[in-house]
């Protein structure tokens, strides 16, 4: 049914507004997932959990506590995770302030999401795994 030139599904509007809201929520979810991965990695480093291969290669028991946090960016995989976390944090701020200039924020969100997807694809690529 069309009302006022816009398609309606039930009582919600279909189209760009709904797609934009879905993208905004997906960005917030991506932030939560990347933050969780970083927190798990740092927590495992503080607990000397060497069952994670990355920690086995980039940490040890004698490492001072101040440097255990730096394990997050000490290797290539951790560095990519750290950059993804920074991108996700900036994206979260962007997505929480999206009502200021919606078109600008929509374009910036697309670019930011594209870069973040690139980093996450690199992070999950078997080409960067240590032998």
In the structure encoding, which two tokens stand for residue 72, read together? 């997050």
Please state the pTM of the whole predicted model: 0.77
- In this structure, how many other beta carbons lie within 10 angstroms of the beta carbon of residue 3? 8
Provide the 8-state DSSP code for 86: H
Question: Is the pLDDT reported for residue 123 higher than 70?
Answer: yes
- Return the pLDDT at 129: 56
Q: What are the residue ranges spanned by the domains of the chain? A: 20-128
Q: What pLDDT band is residue 36 in, cutting at 50, 70 and 90?
A: very high
Question: Is the pLDDT reported for residue 22 higher than 70?
Answer: yes
Phi, psi dihedral angles at 4 (to 5 degrees): 65, 30
Taking CA atoms, 96 is separated from 73, 81, 103, in Å, by 27, 22, 14
DSSP string, 95-110: HHTTTSSHHHHHHHHH
Q: Determine the average pLDDT of the residues in 100-118.
A: 82
């Amino acid at each position: 049914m069309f009302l006022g030139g816009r398609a309606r599904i039930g009582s919600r509007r279909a189209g760009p507004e709904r797609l934009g809201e879905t993208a905004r929520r997906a960005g917030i979810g991506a932030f939560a997932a990347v933050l969780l991965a970083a927190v798990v990695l740092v927590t495992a480093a503080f607990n000397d959990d060497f069952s994670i291969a990355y920690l086995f290669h980039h940490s040890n028991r004698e490492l001072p506590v101040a440097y255990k946090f730096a394990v997050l960016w000490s290797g290539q995989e951790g560095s990519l995770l750290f950059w993804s976390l920074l991108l996700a944090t900036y994206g979260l701020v962007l997505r929480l302030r999206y009502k200021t200039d919606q078109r600008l924020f929509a374009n910036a969100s697309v670019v930011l999401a594209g870069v973040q997807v690139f980093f996450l694809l690199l992070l999950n690529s078997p080409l960067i795994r240590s032998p």
